[in-house]
Amino acid sequence: MSEAEVGTAPIPAPGDGAECVGGAAPGPQSRETPGLVARRSVDNTAASAGGGGLDGLLGGETMALYYADVHRTRRNGEGFRITFTTDGTSFKHVDSFADVPAREGDAVFVDTIPLQHTEGVIELLRRGVEVYYLRRLTLLAKRREELRLPKTARGDIKALMAIEQKWFRRVTEDFLVVRRMVVAYRSLMRARQQLLNKSKALADLERYALKPAIKVLEQQMDELAKRIVNEALKRYPAYNRLVEELGINSLEGMEALAEIITYLDHSKRFRKTANLFGLFKPARGGKKMYNEGLRGALQRLTASVNGISPFQLTARLERQTLFKVWMILRREARGRLAVPAQG
């Protein structure tokens, strides 16, 4: 199913270049439905090594891997229901991720995370559960067809269990909180643009009638942009450094930067990062697949950094701006890793 998010479904992740943030392989890569062992031991050696994935948790205890499918309810199509399993044979249903009986050290793999379930996923994270989402939902349908599984919640879960780990991205609370605000900002921005486009086709009198509505939307955008910037300052250590080094002095540019660093994985090669933003040439006859919402944020950031109008943007300028962001994030991450532990 598709995620209820503006311009970023599935989570792009994010999603968005080929990413794999921690985690064990969700299941074997065969045509047969994976008979995944639901619980596995994690020895003390792996735990003491402090691995960043599923293998570095809770030495001596067991870990459960949960696979979940989020689908709309049949009643009105507005709500979502979650079906999950640990073994591919026994399935249960809940209305919130908070009700999934995962505990500290367990991991949950899910196809998508609708905005309505943000709080439930955050509760899982605060319980010490790792949550991974599928970055490209088209893979789910492809895998389901390969395994000849029915187009049902159970069929989707079995297909999910057979997808390679590199197609999942680990979720953080920072990402979920900022993503929710970013989606709201994009909705306001789109509504404003729609009114502006309609006003251009109207006579002066009707155009004047739309001005108050456009003004209100712009005020709401500014208020939300300030909240997004403040949240980014609190949650991302490199954000302030990026603002200074890029010379951003506009609220729109600072908001766009917050969007970008929320989804960007600086551990990946720049080529994969550029692909996420659509900065590549498709194969002949092929269709570009990239995150349009992130490309829009990059264009706003590039215009702000270079002091130009959107009509003066070029792909080369956008690529240069993205490269600067990527390099600064990598440098900041390396600097933090190089600082010795205190105490």
- Give the helix/strand (H/E) hosting 323: helix 315-338
Task: Give me the pLDDT at residue 10, please.
Answer: 39
Q: Are residues 103 and 164 in the same domain?
A: yes
**What is the percentage of the chain residues whose pLDDT exceeds 90?**
65
Structural contact between residues 1 and 137, judged by C-beta atoms closer than 8 angstroms: yes
Residue 343, domain member (yes or no): no
The two counts, helices (H) then strands (E), for the chain are 11, 7
- Give the span between the Cα atoms of 256 and 71, in whole angstroms: 31
How many CA atoms lie within 13 Å of 294's alpha carbon, on the beta-carbon side?
A: 29
Task: Give me the pLDDT at residue 77, please.
Answer: 53
Task: Give me the pLDDT at residue 136, please.
Answer: 86
- Smallest CA-to-CA distance from 327 within 263, 267, 278 is with 267
Q: Are residues 163 and 190 in the same domain?
A: no
Residue 28, domain member (yes or no): no
Task: Give me the pLDDT at residue 35, please.
Answer: 35
Q: Residue 306 in 3-state DSSP? A: helix
Residue 7, domain member (yes or no): no
Q: Are residues 184 and 241 in the same domain?
A: yes
How, if at all, do strands 107-110 and 62-72 pair? parallel
Tally the domains of the chain. 2
* More confident site: 166 or 56: 166
Residue where a domain stops, chosen among 139, 171, 203: 171
Residue 25, domain member (yes or no): no
Decide if pLDDT at 60 tops 60.
Answer: no
Decide if pLDDT at 196 tops 80.
Answer: yes
Q: Are residues 125 and 202 in the same domain?
A: no
Structural contact between residues 150 and 47, judged by C-beta atoms closer than 8 angstroms: no
Domain residue limits at 237: 175-338
Decide if pLDDT at 126 tops 50.
Answer: yes
Residue 208, domain member (yes or no): yes
Q: Are residues 215 and 334 in the same domain?
A: yes
| Mean pLDDT, residues 47-72 | 60
**What is the percentage of the chain residues whose pLDDT exceeds 70?**
78
Per-residue pLDDT tens over the stretch 257-313: 999 999 998 888 999 999 999 998 887 767 778 889 999 999 999 999 999 999 999
Structural contact between residues 248 and 254, judged by C-beta atoms closer than 8 angstroms: yes
Decide if pLDDT at 185 tops 80.
Answer: yes
**Tokens, residue 287:** 């269709």
Task: Give me the pLDDT at residue 78, please.
Answer: 63
| Mean pLDDT, residues 113-134 | 95
Residue where a domain stops, chosen among 142, 171, 200: 171
Decide if pLDDT at 57 tops 90.
Answer: no
Confidence band, pLDDT 50/70/90 cuts, at residue 62: low
Mean pLDDT taken over the chain: 81
Task: Give me the pLDDT at residue 317, please.
Answer: 97
- Give the span between the Cα atoms of 304 and 260, in whole angstroms: 14
Q: Are residues 330 and 183 in the same domain?
A: yes
Confidence band, pLDDT 50/70/90 cuts, at residue 61: low
Structural contact between residues 125 and 173, judged by C-beta atoms closer than 8 angstroms: yes
Q: Are residues 162 and 180 in the same domain?
A: no
Task: Give me the pLDDT at residue 335, please.
Answer: 76
Residue 49, domain member (yes or no): yes
3-state secondary structure 196-254: HHHHHCCCHHHHHHHHHHHHHHHHHHHHHHHHHHHHHHHHCCCHHHHHHHHCCCCHHHH
Q: Are residues 181 and 308 in the same domain?
A: yes
Residue 3, domain member (yes or no): no
Q: Are residues 185 and 107 in the same domain?
A: no
Q: Are residues 334 and 251 in the same domain?
A: yes
Q: Model pTM?
A: 0.77
Per-residue pLDDT tens over the stretch 143-184: 999 999 999 999 999 999 999 988 999 999 999 999 999 999
Residue 16, domain member (yes or no): no
Q: Are residues 186 and 141 in the same domain?
A: no
Residue where a domain stops, chosen among 116, 141, 171: 171
Per-residue pLDDT tens over the stretch 197-237: 999 888 888 888 899 999 999 999 999 999 999 999 999 99
> How many other C-beta atoms can be found within 10 angstroms of the C-beta atom of residue 28?
13
Q: Are residues 80 and 111 in the same domain?
A: yes
